[in-house]
């Protein structure tokens, strides 16, 4: 029987719980951009502010790996398709570091003010991921030694800054987590090539300077 593409798309949407964009985005990250991804544990369906993992006090509900673990992150298209066909609403988790982007994150209010200051100063940024409570600025991969030297040279680094390098992870859009939807504050430019990201030194220098100049005392959470 001849396939009707529109009907197939509708059936796929229903089979995927109405969220085929998660599979499509996961494939873009893995296949087109070569970013290793894996499904997050997802929020607890009985209470979305809680996590479906065994930890009753999980601080990142739904926004972290659990089964499979972080080491399973891959760019393999077949594995990605299998995961999100079977778990169509699972958050998309990026394993940071290695050849994949790393990230610098800070509380949302401080991040919004810092980004406004960076824009005024002409600082070029790549993609910025926004969760309800924290924003993550994607940066080029770095080593722990490189990060340690960078921070050691600073007189002051806000305690609210977090660094997602080798062995770390962040949730990517359009994931739904226990704290809410993940979105792009600065979306990647359209196209198949992996987005450009700045060096971590430039981002940390600019963010610390912006927070200092704007008088933002970012809370440490």
Q: What is the pLDDT of residues 111-125, one digit of tens each?
A: 998 899 889 889 899
Half-sphere exposure in the Cβ direction for 164 (13 Å, CA): 23
Cβ-contact 136, 111 below 8 angstroms: no
Distance, CA of 31 to CA of 112 (rounded, Å): 31
Note the pLDDT of residue 14.
40
Cβ atoms within 10 A of the Cβ of 136, count? Answer: 26
Of the two residues 21 and 2, the one the predictor is more confident about is: 21
| pTM for this model (two decimals) | 0.85
- Mean predicted confidence (pLDDT) in 31-45: 88
């Amino acid at each position: 029987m001849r396939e009707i593409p529109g009907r197939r798309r509708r059936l796929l949407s229903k089979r995927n719980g109405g969220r085929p964009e998660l599979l499509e985005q996961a494939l873009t990250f893995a296949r087109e951009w070569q970013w290793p991804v894996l499904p997050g544990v997802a929020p607890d369906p009985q209470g979305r502010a809680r996590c479906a993992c065994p930890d009753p006090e999980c601080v990142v509900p739904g926004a972290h790996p659990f089964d499979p673990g972080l080491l399973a992150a891959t760019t393999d298209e077949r594995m990605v398709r299998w995961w999100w066909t079977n778990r169509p609403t699972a958050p998309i988790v990026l394993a940071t570091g290695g050849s994949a982007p790393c990230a610098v994150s800070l509380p949302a209010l401080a991040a919004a003010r810092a980004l406004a200051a960076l824009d005024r100063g002409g600082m070029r940024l790549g993609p910025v991921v926004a969760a309800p409570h924290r924003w993550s600025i994607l940066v080029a991969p770095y080593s722990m030694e490189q990060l340690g030297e960078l921070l050691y040279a600073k007189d002051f680094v806000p305690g609210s800054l977090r660094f997602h390098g080798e062995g770390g992870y962040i949730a990517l859009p359009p994931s739904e987590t226990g704290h809410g939807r993940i979105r792009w504050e600065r979306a990647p430019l359209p196209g198949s090539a992996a987005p450009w990201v700045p060096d971590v030194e430039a981002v940390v220098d600019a963010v610390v300077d912006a927070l200092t100049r704007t008088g933002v005392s970012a809370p440490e959470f």
